[in-house]
């Protein structure tokens, strides 16, 4: 009972808050963040990277494949068409593989390079950049926007605000129309929407997603990243000391403070100052309003805006770049970053395995499915010729996007009579139902229940023979 628990002394982290300015509560979490524009290689790459995927998002619904919309996720018909691949509710494993591969790809990238998904590819980040771009072009740079919001409404302010919100609404509407176009034919959607002929649910969906886009990118912005998105909360489980994140080199930067530009780098160090001049540009360009000099924070989206801002200041001061950079905790501590490590290898192995299973599932997928439904009105009936007859409904599901002709036959029943269509033609991505009767002499039946199977065969356009068997029962007595 006299044993003491060892206590480890931990030096508390000193949080440096920016000096107070005329903006009042500019850095209050409840205050609006006025993001300062920044130029640099990372910012240029981030913009073009996001706009590239935005262009893909906007173009895909307009692509035609085999005479129809290449990507159409028809929820009403429960049919997803993706470039010649038609998925049905029965293909749940394939959809599960796609989501699992996407999840582990995200885990792998996050373990290696932190939240680069949030900073470079997240739709929220891309749309916020678009909205901010309109805001800067119409209302001016950061300082002018602050002054514009602080003054009373006048003609100039009214015109600028009206133009800005008109641009925002236009972007939100185009975004919503494009998104809904993934779930309904996009050409007809655009025409029907602007001629007020669209259906209720399509119109409701467009308005709903337009409002969401307008609110998220125009007003909520960083709140989505810091309070709503769950990714910020569990990302730390994937981080380790070798994860590349946007970090501030405190050893090199402290003590921070202003200094004359005429002082050389060596003279600054002789005065006990670090490389950080405490200009707060890294805070002003941050889309989530944090100070990266306070260490790694869950609000950081790894966009690298502060890296470009700080490197620009270092250039002007004739200091070495990299005071803020993409680096690891291990490297900041003076060690060497280990690229190859167990956690990263584990994520990579799982990603490769799941990708292989996904590819194998697609390659071995049979573009045909059948379902046999017995007549529920009677188990069997006796014909005028004394034959025992069972009635079935055969459903043929054409999973391809080409019209196919199928041949239906029965196996396991001797000397049977087939009544119904032996050949059926089914359109691509459609389900065809046909009633079929099978009759045989009772002397051919050895038991009251006989196991039989329906066989459906076809030959694809590529010459491949496809055969699917579905077991069922033939009943007597």
Last residue in a domain, options 203, 237, 271: 237
pLDDT tens sequence across 412-443:
898 899 999 999 999 887 889 999 999 999 98
Q: Which of 210, 237, 264 is the last residue of a domain?
A: 237
Q: What is the DSSP letter of 26?
A: T
pLDDT of res. 30: 44
Ranking 21-35, 140-154, 308-322 by mean pLDDT, the lowest is 21-35
Cβ–Cβ < 8 Å for 440, 416: yes
Q: What is the CATH number of the domain that holds 467?
A: 2.60.40.10
Four-residue CA torsion sign, 307, 308, 309, 312: positive
Strand ordering across the sheet containing 423-426: 423-426, 404-411, 449-459, 465-475
- Cα separations in angstroms, 209 against 83, 204, 215: 25, 9, 10
* Residues whose CB is less than 8 angstroms from the CB of residue 468 and which lie 6 or more positions away in sequence, other chains included: 366, 368, 369, 370, 455, 456, 457
Terminal-to-terminal C-alpha distance of the chain: 82
Same domain membership, residue 144 and residue 231: yes
Whether residues 153 and 189 share a domain: the answer is: yes
Which structural domain range is residue 322 located in?
Answer: 245-332
Question: Is the same domain home to 49 and 128?
Answer: yes
* Residue 17 confidence (pLDDT): 52
Same domain, 296 and 431: no
The answer to whether residues 434 and 420 touch, using CB atoms and an 8 Å cutoff, is yes
pLDDT of residue 16: 52
* Domain co-membership, 186 together with 148: yes
The percentage of the chain sitting over the pLDDT mark of 90, rounded to a whole number, equals 59
11-68 pLDDT, tens per residue? 444 555 554 444 444 444 446 889 999 999 999 999 999 889 999 999 999 999 878 8
Q: Domain ends where: 216, 237, 258?
A: 237
CB atoms within 10 A of CB 429: 22
Cβ contact 110:235 at 8 Å: yes
Q: What is the pLDDT of residue 3?
A: 62
What average pLDDT does range 93-106 have in this prediction?
90
Whether residues 305 and 426 fall in one domain: no
180 and 63 assigned to the same domain: yes
- Residue 14 counted as domain residue: no
Q: Give CB contacts under 8 A, 24+ apart, made by 321-326.
A: 322/249, 323/248, 323/249, 323/252, 323/253, 323/275, 323/276, 324/246, 324/247, 324/248, 324/249, 324/282, 324/292, 325/246, 325/247, 325/249, 326/113, 326/244, 326/245, 326/246, 326/247, 326/302
Q: Where are the alpha helices (DSSP H) in 68-182?
A: 92-113, 116, 123-139, 142-150, 155-180
* Per-residue model confidence (pLDDT) at position 13: 45
Q: Tokens standing for 275?
A: 């490389």
Contact 91, 208 (CB under 8 A): no
In this structure, are 202 and 225 located in the same domain?
yes
Does one domain contain both 140 and 228?
Answer: yes
Nearest to 287 by CA among 38, 113, 20, 45: 38
Predicted pLDDT of residue 361: 87
**Predicted local confidence at residue 461, as pLDDT:** 73
* Residue 300, C-beta contacts closer than 8 angstroms, at least 6 positions apart: 115, 245, 246, 288, 290, 292
95 within domain boundaries: no
Task: Could you list the beta-strand ranges (E) of 311-430.
Answer: 324-327, 368-374, 381-382, 388-398, 404-411, 417-419, 423-426
Residue 23 lies inside a defined structural domain of this protein = no
Average pLDDT over all residues of the chain: 88
The pLDDT, as a whole number, for residue 25 is 47
Other C-beta atoms closer than 10 Å to the C-beta of 439 total: 22
- Chain position carrying tokens 């009251």: 448
Same domain, 378 and 445: yes
In a domain, 116, yes or no: no
Question: How many domains in the chain?
Answer: 3
215 and 326 part of one domain: no
pTM metric for this prediction: 0.79
Residue 58 shares a structural domain with residue 192: yes
Q: What percent of the chain has pLDDT over 70?
A: 94
Residue at 415 is within a domain: yes
- Check if the beta carbon of residue 168 is closer than 8 Å to that of residue 134: yes
Convert the pLDDT of each residue in 265-295 to its tens digit: 888 888 889 999 999 999 999 999 899 999 8
Residue 100 lies in a domain: no
Assigned domain for 222 exists: yes
Residue 264 lies in a domain: yes
Q: What integer pLDDT is reported at residue 5 of this predicted model?
A: 62
248: enclosing H helix or E strand: strand 245-248
């Amino acid at each position: 009972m006299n044993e003491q628990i060892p206590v480890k002394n931990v030096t508390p982290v000193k949080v440096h808050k920016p000096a107070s300015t005329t903006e009042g509560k500019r850095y209050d979490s409840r205050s609006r963040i006025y993001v300062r524009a920044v130029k640099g290689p990372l910012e240029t790459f981030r913009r073009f990277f996001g706009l590239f995927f935005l262009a893909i998002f906007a173009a895909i619904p307009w692509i035609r494949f085999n005479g129809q919309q290449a990507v159409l996720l028809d929820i009403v018909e429960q049919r997803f068409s993706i470039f010649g691949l038609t998925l049905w509710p029965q293909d749940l494993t394939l959809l599960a593989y796609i989501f699992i591969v996407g999840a582990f790809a995200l885990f792998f990238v996050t373990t290696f390079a932190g939240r680069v998904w949030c900073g470079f590819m997240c739709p929220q980040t891309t749309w916020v950049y678009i909205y901010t771009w309109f805001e800067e072009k119409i209302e001016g740079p950061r300082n002018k926007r602050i002054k514009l919001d602080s003054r009373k409404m006048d003609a100039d302010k009214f015109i600028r605000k009206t133009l800005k919100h008109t641009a925002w609404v236009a972007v939100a509407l185009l975004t919503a129309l494009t998104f809904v176009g993934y779930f309904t034919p996009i050409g007809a959607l655009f025409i029907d929407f602007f001629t007020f002929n669209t259906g209720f649910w399509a119109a409701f969906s467009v308005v709903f997603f337009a409002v969401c886009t307008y609110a998220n990118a125009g007003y909520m912005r960083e709140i989505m990243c810091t309070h709503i998105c769950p990714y910020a909360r569990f990302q730390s489980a994937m981080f380790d000391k070798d994860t590349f994140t946007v970090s501030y080199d405190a050893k090199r930067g402290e003590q921070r403070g202003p200094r004359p530009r005429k002082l050389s780098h060596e003279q600054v160090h002789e005065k006990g100052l670090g490389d950080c001049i405490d200009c707060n540009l890294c805070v002003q360009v941050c889309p989530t309003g944090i100070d990266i000099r306070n260490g790694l924070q869950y609000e950081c989206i790894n966009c690298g805006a502060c890296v470009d801002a700080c490197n620009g200041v270092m250039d002007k001061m004739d200091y070495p770049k990299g005071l803020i950079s993409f680096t690891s905790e291990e490297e900041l501590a003076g060690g060497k970053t280990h690229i190859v490590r167990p956690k990263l290898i584990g994520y990579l192995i799982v990603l490769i395995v799941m990708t292989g299973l996904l590819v194998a599932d697609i390659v071995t997928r049979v573009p045909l499915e059948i379902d046999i439904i017995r007549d529920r009105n009677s188990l069997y009936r006796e014909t005028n010729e004394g034959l025992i007859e069972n009635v079935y409904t055969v459903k043929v599901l054409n999973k391809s996007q080409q019209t196919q002709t199928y041949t239906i036959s029965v196996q396991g029943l001797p000397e049977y009579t087939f009544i119904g269509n032996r050949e059926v033609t089914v359109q691509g991505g459609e389900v065809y139902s046909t009633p079929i009767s099978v009759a045989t002499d009772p002397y051919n039946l050895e038991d009251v229940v006989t196991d039989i199977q329906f066989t459906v065969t076809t030959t694809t356009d590529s010459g491949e023979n496809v055969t699917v068997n579905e077991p069922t029962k033939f009943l007597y007595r």
